Structures are given as structure tokens and as C-alpha cells.
Amino acid sequence: MIKFFRKIRQNLLMENKRAKYLKYALGEIILVVIGILIALQINNWNQVRIQNNELLKIHERIILDLENDIQELSSNLMFWKEKEPIFKKVINDSINRTLNADLLDEGLSRLLFSSPQTNLNKTGVLQLKTLNVKDELSLRIIEVYDYMENIYIIPIEKRISDKSTELVSIFQDNYTWFPEWMRKTIMKDNSSKELQ
């Protein structure tokens, strides 16, 4: 093909037909430009296809991350739901303070001194951030994870954990019965009078 065009150019130059040669050269330039534009367009389509495939894989990863996060958050929610009646009794000051039953401790010993910590699965979101896409779904996913990590779930759990640590320190420093309280459920027959 290149030899064919070279022969045409040489024939036009040898026959001294400069006007025809210039038209031919202009046509050849236009063909090269069109070829380059077509190649660029194909390359752009290919890049978009590659990015869409990568985005699809990241979305699949985010779905797995979300399923794990939902499971962990549900478990943590159940933990606190189980503690809710104890909190209500403390708030209403309705815990039975007498030794009329075997059970003295209704879960108070581990009420504030153990709290689950959520570990968000952020692999997919971090990949999404590095891909730097600006579609609405991706931006919303990033926003939700940032909200959970920086405003709602993680900071609240950290405050609860910090308060628990602070309380443990206060109790350890001021009450000799505290270690016994942390080790067991307090029953009438299994704990010291000081603890009771």
C-alpha cells in the first residue's frame, strides 16, 4: 500500500504536475489525520471499557464489604439491644437492691465495660477512591462510608470505648471489689460481702 502511494507521488513529481501533487499530498495528510482520529477514538472506547470493567469489579467488592459490615453491625446492634433492659433499669433506678433473689448482678458488671467495635470493610471504597470516578453512585458510596467512619458509627463507638476505659480506671483505682465484679456474675453465694 505504501509502495502504491510512493509510486503515485513519484509519477506526479516526474511529470512536473505540482498542482496535482499538492492536492494528492493534502489528501494523504487528511487520510493520516482521519486514521489518527479513528485510532484515538478506538483507544478512548477501550479505556472507557477497561474503566467500566474495573468499576464493576470494585462495585462487586463493595457489595461483599457491605454484606460483611451489615452482619457485623447487626451483631453489634443485638449486643446493645440485649443490654437495653439493663440500661432502662439503671435509668429508672428500678434495680432490686436487696438480696431477695440469688441473682444480684443483672448484667451490670459488663454493661459498660465491654463494647463491640465495628471494623468497616473499606477495601472496595478505597479502590473506588483511587479510581477517581465521578458518577453519582460512586460518590454516594464514598459519602456513606465517610459518614459512618467519621461522623456516626466509629466515632460514637470510640467515645463509648473511651468512657468505658475511663470508668474501668476509676473503679480499679477506687474500689477493691472491682476485679471480683468484672470476673463473674454476682450471685448471693459466690461473691464477697464487700462486693455485694
The pLDDT assigned to 66 comes to 93
Digit-coded pLDDT (tens) for 149-183: 999 888 988 898 888 888 888 888 888 777 777 76
Residue 193 clears pLDDT 90, i.e. is over it = no
Band of residue 107 on the pLDDT scale cut at 50, 70, 90: low
The pLDDT assigned to 175 comes to 81
Residues in a beta bridge with 64? none
Q: Are 55 and 138 in contact (CB under 8 A)?
A: yes
Band of residue 101 on the pLDDT scale cut at 50, 70, 90: very low
| Alpha-carbon dihedral sign for residues 91, 94, 96, 98 | positive
Count of beta carbons in the 10 Å neighbourhood of residue 78: 11
Q: Which residue has the cell 448482678?
A: 105
Digit-coded pLDDT (tens) for 125-153: 999 999 888 889 999 999 999 999 999 88
What percent of the chain clears pLDDT 90, i.e. is strictly above it? Answer: 35
Residue 103 clears pLDDT 50, i.e. is over it = no
Residues in a beta bridge with 187? 103
The pLDDT assigned to 146 comes to 93
Task: Give the residue-averaged pLDDT of 100-119.
Answer: 64
The pLDDT assigned to 184 comes to 63
Please name the residues in contact with 177: beta carbons below 8 A apart, sequence gap of 6 or more.
192, 194, 195
Digit-coded pLDDT (tens) for 43-66: 999 998 998 999 999 999 999 999
